[in-house]
Amino acid sequence: MVGSVQFGNVAERREQPPALAVSTVIFALRDDDRTGRKGLWLPLVRRTREPFLGQWALPGGPLGARDSLVDAAAANLRDTTGLIPRYLEQLYAFGDPARSPTRRVVSIVYWALVRENDAQHTESAATSVLLDDPNVAWFRADDVEVMEHLAFDHSRIIDYALWRLRNKVEYGSIAHRLLGERFTLAQVRGVYEAVLNKSLDPANFRRQLRAAADIEETDEFLSGGKHRPPRLYRYSGSTSHPLESETIS
Amino acid sequence: MVGSVQFGNVAERREQPPALAVSTVIFALRDDDRTGRKGLWLPLVRRTREPFLGQWALPGGPLGARDSLVDAAAANLRDTTGLIPRYLEQLYAFGDPARSPTRRVVSIVYWALVRENDAQHTESAATSVLLDDPNVAWFRADDVEVMEHLAFDHSRIIDYALWRLRNKVEYGSIAHRLLGERFTLAQVRGVYEAVLNKSLDPANFRRQLRAAADIEETDEFLSGGKHRPPRLYRYSGSTSHPLESETIS
DNA sequence: TGAATAGTGTCTTTCAGACACTATCGG
DNA sequence: CCGATAGTGTCTGAAAGACACTATTCA
């Protein structure tokens, strides 16, 4: 039986080497009416080809011949979703022989953080080529964990990305990539609350953040709320990860 | 100029897809005469082909057509070094276009932990096919960080593996994979001291370890030293990493 | 003025580190 | 007995969490 030609599929597979693809899990912060807090959202694209035609999947594509892995991820992100991430880090390489029903594919998956404003562009900005693109949609991260209609093993990949994000947020340096250049400490607390999915004491959070993270105060304040205007802060540190590059400006 | 055939190298590259390889950084604990403590060592293999013929490199090879990534790493490890690791976790995928001088190679790198006794087998056991193999040698991890004659970007890869190991050791569950099934708390302390490269207070270490890690005591004691025999302990937890499998028995 | 959030003070508990002390082996 | 390591007790200082309190804005 071994080596039989009966199962053409298997025989073919042995000949051709595994294909390489690069995909990305993108996270952004958005208002969540259900909790009243900010929540984590992520965009998915609808597949336009077999296999899994019509189902939602992570944005991704083949590895360009001359791009580095991270460049390939960034380029593909721009092409498929119009997003330019503020942060891009390698997540994991998925290479299970059975993860694609057709030819074997090894996917190197990145995870990205985009700012709330950037994320809105894909929907509302007139300049965006993806305005009203029905093949890109945003989902609550918690919902995706439940959805079972994602292509390939993408549901599992998203689970893992969430796990990594939650384990990483403690290192600081994540929050400001989901926010703008300047931000209030309450906004940072919002990020932590969204990622960890629980409320935090404002007083203690403030103290810990000021003591630990590389955040420095500016002279500016944010007015407009019906309360005392909070001071704006700025991030001054850099990645602690030796293999990942700095924030993309 | 673009598309010119003059640079045959570049033209060829664009045609053929990147090759996939799987390599592994292996760590074991060994006595280190220099510090008097245990230290971290790792095996390298001498390259028998161009490029980098004759230079030391991480054990690795192409991805088998039907193996999962981790299976490919384990199989290759056995073939090239005779080692069967107790722990195997994906480290990172390296895909820089220029990391190989010939054809483009994307390497998915794992890191492994082996027990001290297992590691000695490659040198002394008569059953090992690799007895006296001049193409496998062990190096102090600290020395490798300095060596500049490694093939490809393997020096950088080892640096990163050490960084990950040092950042991971705090999560517990690492130590017992470098030791045997049963171990004394002083041995575990030895692992921490080797990895973190500093001495730790025995009393405080004991307390923290017992409180945090999933370690349970046995009824056995280790006699033979010229002092009170220490109790032997056993590990009872499991990986905290959702994508990596359990210890290989 | 009152609602709302910004921001501070302080008490308690928990935990890491320092280190003195007791226990028990081999020789 | 002594030398050596196992293992316990306890003090101190730093930091986390709870929560009362003051400050400042807009409506």
Find the residue closest to D8 using CA and C1' atoms.
B203
State the pLDDT at residue B53. Answer: 95
Q: Do B96 and A68 touch (CB under 8 A)?
A: yes
Cis status, amide bond into B51, omega within 30 of 0: yes
Q: What are phi and psi of A168, to 5 degrees?
A: -95, -25
Question: In terms of C-beta density within 10 A (0-12 exposed, 13-18 middle, 19 or more buried), how is residue B30 classed?
Answer: middle
Radius of gyration for chain A, computed over Cα atoms and rounded to the nearest angstrom: 20
Q: Say which of B68, B90, B95 has its CB closest to residue A68.
A: B95
Q: Do B13 and A65 touch (CB under 8 A)?
A: yes
- What amino acid occupies position B42? L
The string of DSSP letters for B82-128 reads ----SEEEEEEEE--TTSSSSS-EEEEEEEEE--HHHHHHHHH-TT-
Q: Do B108 and A95 touch (CB under 8 A)?
A: yes
Q: Do A243 and B20 touch (CB under 8 A)?
A: no
Find the residue closest to D18 using CA and C1' atoms.
A201
Domain boundary among A152, A168, A184: A168
Q: Do B93 and A97 touch (CB under 8 A)?
A: no
Same domain, A116 and A222: no
Same domain, B190 and B156: no
Q: Which nucleotides of D are covered by protein (CB under 7 A)?
A: 3-10, 15-20, 23-27
Cβ contacts of residue A238 below 8 Å, gap of 6+? A173, A214, A246
Burial B143-157 (b: 16+ CB within 10 A, else e): ebeeeeebbbbbbeb
For A138, the token pair is: 């945003």
Same domain, A102 and A194: no
- In eight-state DSSP terms, residue A217 is E
CA separation (Å) from A122 to A87, A128, A134, A211? 18, 6, 11, 36
End-to-end CA distance of chain A: 57
Q: What are phi and psi of B65, to 5 degrees?
A: -60, -35
Q: Which nucleotides of C are covered by protein (CB under 7 A)?
A: 2-10, 15-20, 23-27
Nearest residue in chain B measured CA to CA from A91: B92
For A173, the token pair is: 């340096």
Apex A88 CA angle, B92 and A142, nearest 5: 95
Total domain count, chain A = 2
Q: Which residues of the protein are close to the nucleic strand D, CB under 7 angstroms?
A: A 201, 203-204, 207-208, 211-212, 223-229; B 184-186, 202-204, 206, 221, 225-231
Same domain, A58 and A119: yes
The string of DSSP letters for A175-216 reads HHHHS-SEE-HHHHHHHHHHHHTS---HHHHHHHHHHHS-EE
In a domain, A249, yes or no: no
CATH code, B229: 1.10.10.10
Residues in chain B closer than 8 A to A163 (CB atoms): 242
In a domain, B124, yes or no: yes
State the pLDDT at residue B129. Answer: 47
Residue-wise pLDDT tens for chain B (249 aa)? Answer: 333 333 344 444 445 789 999 999 999 998 887 877 889 999 999 999 999 999 999 999 999 888 999 999 999 999 998 888 989 999 999 999 999 999 999 999 999 999 877 766 554 443 444 446 788 999 999 898 888 889 999 999 999 999 999 888 766 678 888 998 999 999 999 999 999 989 999 999 999 998 887 899 999 999 988 899 999 999 987 777 888 875 665
Same domain, A93 and A178: no
Q: Which residues of chain A fall below pLDDT 50?
A: 1-14, 123-131
Same domain, A138 and A215: no
Structural domain span for residue A157: 2-168
- Cα gap A174→A116, rounded to integer Å: 14
B224 beta carbon to strand C: under 7 Å: yes
The closest alpha carbon to A233, from A189, A178, A185, belongs to A185
In a domain, B243, yes or no: no
User: Measured CA to C1', what is the nucleotide nearest B208?
Assistant: C16
Residue corresponding to tokens 């297992």: B118
Same domain, B144 and B163: yes
State the pLDDT at residue B169. Answer: 74
Domain boundary among B130, B149, B168: B168
For B131, the token pair is: 């007895």
